[in-house]
Structures are given as structure tokens and as C-alpha cells.
Structure 1
């Protein structure tokens, strides 16, 4: 079986992939993550997931390279990582009392053959109506400034929701493990 590489510097994705109890190396890909003009969120997430994997192909020429990307979508508005308290406050106010779709892309590239599988796992999150003080308190305690949508569902962020609807609960954290396991099997990597 080919060795695994995670094309990411995300601590969340590393923790998720570690659940599969397989050795892997994690390396940050160097790519431009800006959306293309007129690009739909679904297309952007798929493109960036693949681009992250392909960015490491030369460095890891006989590996299965895993790339992933995530955005949140409210209507036509795309939410990425807020970066700071003010950006996160704006995002949470915009999500308050609404249903928000999180799109998590995953790509598995066999760098030796060039074969790449790409998929997208949607997750719908129903936010409770949030008071400004709840938003401020949450952000001071959890500081989710590097998370799309401005929360950590695996921590205190779960208190912000009324419901989560997904076929893969790990997708919301940043790496859809159920779909990844299926894709790895398709590439001949037997996890069990």
C-alpha cells in the first residue's frame, strides 16, 4: 500500500486522520486559495481539495495524498476563516437563527499514477438565535478564528446549534472520514 500524506497544516484534520490509526505525514501545501471569478462554492471546494493534494505530488511521488477544503455558505455568501474576533463576530451574527450549509471537499491523489478521486460532503447546521453577549463570550473562550464559520463543533461551539444534518459527522470538523475511508479503499488502501 502507498504511504499516506495529508496535504494540510490543520491540527483538526491531523487529529481526524489520526483516528484511522495509520501512519501518515502532514505537510502544508503552498497554493492560492482565492476563489476564481464567478466560481460556485462547490466547484471551489473541489478545486482546492485537489490542488492541495497535487501541490505535494512532486515531493511525494509514490504516495496517496489527501487534500481537503471547507467553506460555509449562507444563500449566496461564502464564509471562510474569519481570522480575528471582529470577523468571527460578524460571521456568527450572520448565522444566528439560520440554516447554514458547510461544504467539505476531499481529494485522494495517487501521485505515482496521477489518478485523483474528488468528492464533496455537505453538512447543514441549524444555528440557534444567538445574543451578542453569547457570541462575545463564546469567541473569548474558544477563539475559533481559523475555522470556517467561526466555531469549533468538537468543543464549546456545539452550544451554538439547534441541529446538525450530515451523512458524515467528521465533515463539519474538516475531513469527512467516512467518505475518505471509501476513497482510500477505491485506491487499494485497506484500512482494516
Structure 2
């Protein structure tokens, strides 16, 4: 069953699908003026073996997009996956306050990388574009009081690396080098560029606030 971005049931296959339940990715694409349906992928992420970060997130993005595209072969499907790395470690979503504290203490005063892979696919057109974007993020030195407060907000628990740069976690970040939206969960510049180059969307002269699909 397909739903549009407002949660309404759609009768036919939508032309553009976001294969993610992430509210952050949905918001970013809405802000870019896109009209699309949200159909989260059921792909088992644990079935993909860890590789170098860029290949790993790109493989996951392709798998998520591909899983939904098989159900909607005439639609253009966007899949994405984001991870945080520091040193040789990948930081996922913390399962409890202890894990969140460990992650935040490890990131404190350090630089880390955020990788987001994205894939845009249309099965019946035999077309796919995929890429992985990396952003360098540096944290401020965090005090234990700051870490305690941030954990108590509850924000870290569904975020890779235990923080949300677009939320209250913005105060943790000293500087970034690269795409800001990539850290939020989707490199919007690259995704929109790809959609335009592939002819999926175009600038809508009659509605300057939106993109025509």
C-alpha cells in the first residue's frame, strides 16, 4: 500500500517514492519542493556485511531503493542510509543511555565523518544512480553536565552517533566541512542534481516554490 508524504493512501503508483521512514529525510525533500510518496523499505540492513564506509552506505541505499522499486517498477525510488565513523569505528544508534554516553564521550572534542549513501532507481527504465557523500564534523569539548543534559532530552536515541545536528544537538558541533544536509540524513544538493540530470524532476516555472515531477 502506498502513501503520500501526508500519510494519505494513494490509488496508483506514485511517480516519486522516498524509501525511508526517516522524518528528517522527508522534511529535507519537502523543503526542496518535491512531491513524493513515502514507502519505507523492509530490507534487512543486518544482511549487508561491513565494508569501507562509503561502499557500505551506498550498498544499503541501493538495497533499500531496489526493494521498493521491485514493488513499484514504474516509479522513481530514492533510498538512503547514514552512518557516523570515528577512527575505525562505526557509531550506530545507541540502544540505551550508557551507549549514548559512550558515543558522546568518544566524539567530544574530536572530528568524525558522516557518510550518507543515496540511490535513485527506476526498475522498468533499467536506470540507477548511486553515490556516497562524506562530511567532516568537529565536536566541541563536552562537559559531563552537557552530556547528562543532552541524554536526558531523549534526542540521541534514534540518531546515528547519538546526536542530531538539526535539533538540540546543534550546540555540540563546533564546525563542519562539507554538506550540512548530509549530516541531517540526505545530501539534498547531490540528490536534486541527480534527479534533474536523470530527467525525473524539472524546475516548475508556474510554481517557483516547487519542482515538477
TM-score (norm 2): 0.84
Unaligned runs of 5+ in 1: none
Mapped partners of 1:120, 1:58: distance in 2: 22
Structure with max Cα Rg: 2
For residues 10 and 37 of structure 1, do their structure 2 counterparts lie closer, same or farther at Cα, with a shift above 3 Å needed?
Answer: closer
> What is the aligned-residue RMSD (CA, Å)?
1.5
Runs of 4+ in 1 over 6 A off after TM superposition: none
For 1:181, the equivalent position in structure 2 comes to: 192
Unaligned runs of 5+ in 2: 1-13, 204-213
The alignment status of 1:51 with 2:63, answered yes or no, reads yes
For 1:159, the equivalent position in structure 2 comes to: 171
Mapped partners of 1:125, 1:141: distance in 2: 22
After TM superposition, the structure 1 = structure 2 runs for residues 123-134 of structure 1, keeping only pairs within 5 Å, are: 123-134=135-146
SS at 2:161 equivalent: coil
Conserved in 1, the CA contact under 8 Å of 2:54 and 2:133? no
The alignment status of 1:104 with 2:120, answered yes or no, reads no
**Length, aligned pairs only:** 190
SS at 1:9 equivalent: coil
TM-score (norm 1): 0.93
For residues 38 and 13 of structure 1, do their structure 2 counterparts lie closer, same or farther at Cα, with a shift above 3 Å needed?
Answer: closer
After TM superposition, the structure 1 = structure 2 runs for residues 19-58 of structure 1, keeping only pairs within 5 Å, are: 19-34=31-46, 36-37=48-49, 39-58=51-70
Mapped partners of 2:28, 2:19: distance in 1: 13
Conserved in 2, the CA contact under 8 Å of 1:70 and 1:104? yes
Mapped partners of 1:83, 1:186: distance in 2: 40
Per-residue CA deviations over 1:37-79 (Å, capped at 9, x if unaligned) read 4522211101001001001012211111000001111111011
